[in-house]
Amino acid sequence: MKQLTKKKKEEKKEEEVKTDEASVTEEIASQVMPILINMGDMMGGSSEAKQRVISLYGDVCEKKAEEIVMSLTVLKASAEQEVAKDPEDPDSEIIIVKKPIELYLSTYGGSALDMFSIYDAVRMCQADGVEVHTHGLGKIMSAGVLLMACGTKGKRKIGKHCRVMIHGVISGQSGHIHDIENEMEETKYIQQQYHRALAAETNMTQAYLKKLVARKTNVYFTADEAVELGIADIII
């Protein structure tokens, strides 16, 4: 009798956890869907296609990172679609495919930590089999370079007139010398992580990136050079 009661309690607890997870997903969706629909209305095309578009125009900041991460989470969860294996055969086998996410970028950069939050969210989508197609327009600079490069390989498009820029991580710490030293260590660590991630997503090595940063200035690239360096795949 006691064992039965314990089992019922465990089952009830599992149901509560599932209910909580569903509530969180619904809450996120209720906040994100108006954003996605509003973005899509400006993009044209079908309503379904509209809602799988995310844009980052402007600085990479906490507010924008929150919107993008939430959008990626919802779109990843709703990516599955049933389609006919052979569209021309009415009796064709039905298979499950995962619809891609289109991420449009035009940014001077911004917060490195907020960049990493978006980067990891993109990686989680890809780990779940959902492609993220990146589109660079106008300017892809600083933090924006990693976000452009982390798109699904072969599906990273960049505008012909887009400018790309890489520089070292900037620290604006002031105050007590111990605080400055501590922040400098953290800045060095973030820069190492940035170089490691960028090297993993492109044709650039960490040694090459260190040489760029050693110039102590902004280093600019054309769209053609961005393709050569593996930041993008296709010029549009």
Contact indicator for 37, 71 with CB cutoff of 8 Å: no
Q: State how beta strands 94-98 and 80-84 pair.
A: antiparallel
* pLDDT greater than 50 at residue 43: no
What pLDDT, in 10s, does the model give residues 144-192? Answer: 999 999 999 999 999 999 999 999 876 656 556 666 677 778 888 999 9
For 52-235, CATH number?
Answer: 3.90.226.10
pTM of the model: 0.77
In whole angstroms, give the CA distance from residue 174 to residue 178.
10
Beta-bridge mates of residue 136:
105, 158
Give the range among 66-75, 102-111, 127-136, 209-218 with minimum mean pLDDT.
209-218
CA angle 213, 195, 74 (to 5 degrees): 130
Confidence of residue 84 (pLDDT cuts 50, 70, 90): confident
The whole-number pLDDT of residue 92 equals: 84
What pLDDT, in 10s, does the model give residues 87-103? Answer: 888 888 988 889 999 99
The b/e string for 115-147 (b: 16+ C-beta within 10 A; e otherwise) is bbebbebbeebbeeebbbbbbbbebbbbbbbbb
| Percent residues over pLDDT 70 in the chain | 74
How much is the average pLDDT of 217-229? Answer: 96
* pLDDT greater than 50 at residue 42: no
Average pLDDT, the chain: 83
In whole angstroms, give the CA distance from residue 217 to residue 94.
55
